[in-house]
Each structure stands twice: as structure tokens, then as C-alpha cells.
């Protein structure tokens, strides 16, 4: 049982333990290459709000989400390029049509995602 | 993004302090601004507005695009009372993404066996909250039915501007509570913020159902609180 010597402020946040940016910090400390993807703009119906993060390591492992699953695959492959090239990139995803189904948003919105290397 | 900047950002979030990461998208600037910190130049008013709004967005300043990512502390629920409702509420809150802490000085209720994996304090709220004050990003749920235990944290939550303050009890019980709060100097306007009877009006009867009603009401209070701009809608 917790005692009086433990304060409310000292209780670690379980929510932050699953947070992509906290996971990214842990990955970097392990010496892994990391990219951080951030939703910076949305138009229309977008599945994840501005500020949402997806973090990717050099082997393609990822945590978090920028679209609820619609474009994560494309963001991960761009992130691997950013990790090797170093320079950040701005990605834009729009309405899915038949030819672009695999990298579109079926909800009909548009999003811009900023991908940058950590470190 | 520098690794030290990420470490500082995560430390601020763990300490429950609001912070903005300000990033020039042309790569010319990338820094943290803590709430209450003054910064120079045309970005000052934009940063101030972003803290007030609590949402992230791109802003243009003299031809440069800045992304302001506003990080407010993760939502937290503090429950006064280690009762049946709290036992049901603890796992539900975790699934919904809310940190939850339970405080109850009655050691017969506040046992680790009844609340495995939940942060639990078998102490008076006065003692637990003394050094770790409540904040705007905290919901206070008072469910002991005992004024000696519930009244202090309810007053503290109203003072701290908690986004939700709910108290268990019938309208009659709450009427008496409002009388006591009035005598303690709490104005009627402020006391009107207390959600009582607690929980959304869905006819909840069992402890588990009441926990659902409380969590629903907390979510409504957080997502529909004033001064927050539109966030992403569902879809995808």
C-alpha cells in the first residue's frame, strides 16, 4: 500500500507510458534511429486531430497514429527515407480515389504530415 | 528534432505543465515555450492565444510557417472514495486513456487487493492534495457519501478550476452539501459547477453502470469545455 511519503505528483502517468513521444525518447536512448511524424494540418473530416504523432524506428517499427490506419504504411516508408537522408519532409494525403486507394483517406478529408528525424 | 528537446518536452508533460513546441517549418527555429513564459516579438501573442485555445495549428509570421504543437497535461481523474463505483471506474478510465488516482482515509476500503494496479492513497484528501494540488486538467469525483471526507476536496477542486467536479448523493444530500459550501464561503455560481446527482442521466443503477455514467459525463466535460477550438472529427 502507498504510504504518506508518496505524493500524488509522484504517481507516474499510465497514459504517458503509452504515448508515442515517450516511446520515441526510450527508443533513442536504446540507440535506435527514430523519426517523428506529426499531423500539422487537416481539412474536412480527418480521423486524427492536428498534433497527433506517429513515431517510427529505423527498422520500420511504429507506435501512435496520424490517420487511424489509412496512410500509416506510406508515412512509415517515407520516415525510413527521412531517417537515412536526415532532412525533414512534408507529406500530404487527400481523398482516396480508385487509383490512390492505398494511400488515401476513405473519410474524404485531407491531412498534412511533417516527418522529421530525431537527433 | 533534437533529442534534448524531446526529453525536456516529455519532462514537462510528466510534471503536468502545459507546453508548446514551436517549430519553424523551414527549419530556422525549434523550441519549447512553457505556459507563463514571456517570449519576444510577433510570436508572443500567437503563443499566448494557442495556450488559451489549447489546440495545435500552423501560423504564418512574416512569411515563415510555424507549427505550434500545444501539449496540455494528460487528463487525470482523482476519485475520493475507494468504493464499488471506484472499482468499476478504475479499469474503464484506463481504457479511455485517463490516469486515475483513488484517495480514501478509510483503510478498510482502500486496500490494494480491491484496487490492484491502481494508484491508491489510504490517507485524508487534505494530506494527499496538500503538496500536489489539483489542476484544470483534473476531474474530481467524490463518492464517499461522507461530508468529512468529500467536502474538502470538492472545495479544492472548485478553487483549482478542475474541468469536472462530480459528487455522489441525492438531490436532498446535495442540497445540504450546497448549504455547507455556502457557509464555507463558496459562492452559488461556483458551487453550481458541481455535477450532482453525479453522472449522465441514463438510469444507471449498478456500481458498474454508475461508473459508465460518470465517465461519460467526464468525457463530455473535457471535450466540450469552453475555449477549446474544433478538434478532429471521426472518420477515416
The pLDDT tens digits of the residues spanning B120-129 come to 999 999 999 9
Nearest CA among B75, B84, B76 for reference residue B211: B84
3-class state of residue B92 by DSSP? helix
* Cβ-nearest to A40 among B67, B123, B233: B67
Q: Which of B21, B38, B71 is the last residue in one of the domains? A: B71
Contact of A109 with chain B, judged by CB distance below 8 Å, is answered with yes
Asked whether the beta carbons of residue A15 and residue B231 sit closer than 8 angstroms, the reply is no
* Co-location of B62 and B169 in the same domain: no
pLDDT of residue A96: 59
Q: Which of B52, B71, B90 is the last residue in one of the domains? A: B71
For A33-85, the pLDDT digits (tens) are 999 999 999 988 788 899 999 999 999 999 999 987 778 999 999 999 999 99
Chains A & B: contacts with CB separation below 8 Å: 124
pLDDT of residue A1: 46
Long-range (24+ apart) CB contacts under 8 A made by B177-180 are B177/B147, B177/B150, B177/B151, B180/B147, B180/B151
Residue B27, sorted as left (phi over 0), alpha (psi -120 to 50) or beta, turns out to be left
- Which residues of chain A neighbour B232 with C-beta distances below 8 Å? 42, 46-50, 52
Q: Which helix (H) or strand (E) element contains residue A101?
A: none
| Pairing mode, strands B99-103 and B119-121 | parallel
* Co-location of B23 and B63 in the same domain: yes
Structural domain boundaries, residue B82: 76-223
Contact of A96 with chain B, judged by CB distance below 8 Å, is answered with no
Structural domain total, chain B: 2
Asked whether the beta carbons of residue B232 and residue A42 sit closer than 8 angstroms, the reply is yes
Q: Which of B55, B71, B87 is the last residue in one of the domains? A: B71
* Co-location of B40 and B65 in the same domain: yes
For B83-121, the pLDDT digits (tens) are 999 999 999 999 999 999 999 999 999 999 999 999 999
Q: Which of A13, A38, A71 to mutate to test the interface with B (most CBs of B within 10 A)?
A: A13
CB B166 within 8 A of CB B214: yes
10 Å CB burial of residue B205 (0-12, 13-18, 19+) is exposed
* Co-location of B114 and B168 in the same domain: yes
Nearest CA among A94, A39, A76, A95 for reference residue B232: A39
**Which cell numbers hold the place of B132?**
500536489
Contact of B129 with chain A, judged by CB distance below 8 Å, is answered with yes
Cα–Cα dist B79/A16, whole Å: 20
Domain ranges of chain A: 14-117
Nearest-CA distance B168 → chain A (Å): 23
* Co-location of B83 and B150 in the same domain: yes
* Co-location of B138 and B117 in the same domain: yes
Contact of A7 with chain B, judged by CB distance below 8 Å, is answered with yes
Contact of A79 with chain B, judged by CB distance below 8 Å, is answered with no
Q: Is the ipTM of this complex over 0.85?
A: yes
Q: Terminus-to-terminus CA distance in chain B, angstroms?
A: 28
User: The domain spanning residue B202 has which CATH number?
Assistant: 3.40.50.720
* Co-location of B212 and B99 in the same domain: yes
* Co-location of B195 and B94 in the same domain: yes
Amino acid at each position: 500500500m502507498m504510504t504518506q511519503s508518496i505524493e500524488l505528483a509522484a504517481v507516474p502517468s499510465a497514459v504517458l507510458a503509452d504515448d508515442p513521444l515517450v516511446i520515441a525518447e526510450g527508443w533513442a536512448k536504446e540507440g535506435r534511429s527514430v523519426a517523428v511524424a506529426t499531423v500539422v494540418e487537416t481539412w474536412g473530416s480527418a480521423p486524427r486531430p492536428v498534433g497527433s504523432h506517429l513515431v517510427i524506428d529505423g527498422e520500420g517499427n511504429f507506435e501512435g497514429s496520424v490517420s487511424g490506419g489509412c496512410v500509416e504504411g506510406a508515412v512509415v516508408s517515407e520516415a525510413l527515407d527521412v531517417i537515412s537522408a536526415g532532412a525533414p519532409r512534408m507529406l500530404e494525403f487527400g481523398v482516396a480515389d480508385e487509383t490512390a486507394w492505398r494511400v488515401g483517406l476513405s473519410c474524404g478529408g485531407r491531412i498534412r504530415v511533417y516527418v522529421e528525424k530525431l537527433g | 528534432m533534437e533529442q534534448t528537446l524531446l526529453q525536456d518536452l516529455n519532462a514537462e508533460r510528466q510534471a503536468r505543465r502545459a507546453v508548446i513546441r514551436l517549430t519553424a517549418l523551414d527549419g530556422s527555429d525549434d523550441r519549447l515555450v512553457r505556459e507563463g513564459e514571456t517570449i519576444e516579438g510577433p510570436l508572443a501573442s500567437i503563443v499566448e492565444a494557442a495556450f488559451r485555445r489549447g489546440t495545435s495549428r500552423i501560423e504564418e509570421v512574416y512569411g515563415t510557417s510555424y507549427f505550434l504543437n500545444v501539449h496540455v497535461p494528460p487528463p487525470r481523474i482523482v476519485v475520493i472514495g475507494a468504493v464499488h463505483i471506484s472499482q468499476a471506474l478504475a479499469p474503464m478510465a484506463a481504457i479511455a486513456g485517463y490516469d486515475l488516482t483513488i484517495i480514501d482515509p478509510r483503510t478498510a476500503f482502500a486496500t490494494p487487493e480491491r484496487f490492484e494496479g491502481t494508484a491508491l492513497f489510504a490517507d485524508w484528501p487534505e494530506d494527499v492534495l496538500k503538496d500536489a494540488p489539483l489542476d484544470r486538467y483534473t476531474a474530481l469525483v467524490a463518492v464517499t457519501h461522507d461530508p468529512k471526507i468529500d467536502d474538502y476536496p470538492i472545495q479544492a477542486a472548485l478553487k483549482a478550476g478542475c474541468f469536472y467536479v462530480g459528487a455522489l448523493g441525492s438531490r436532498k444530500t446535495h442540497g445540504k452539501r450546497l448549504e455547507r459550501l455556502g457557509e464555507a464561503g463558496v459562492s452559488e455560481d461556483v458551487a453550481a459547477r458541481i455535477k450532482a446527482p453525479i453522472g449522465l442521466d441514463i438510469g444507471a443503477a449498478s456500481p458498474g453502470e454508475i461508473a459508465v455514467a460518470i465517465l461519460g459525463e467526464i468525457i463530455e466535460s473535457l471535450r466540450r469545455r469552453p475555449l477549446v477550438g474544433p478538434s478532429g472529427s471521426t472518420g477515416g
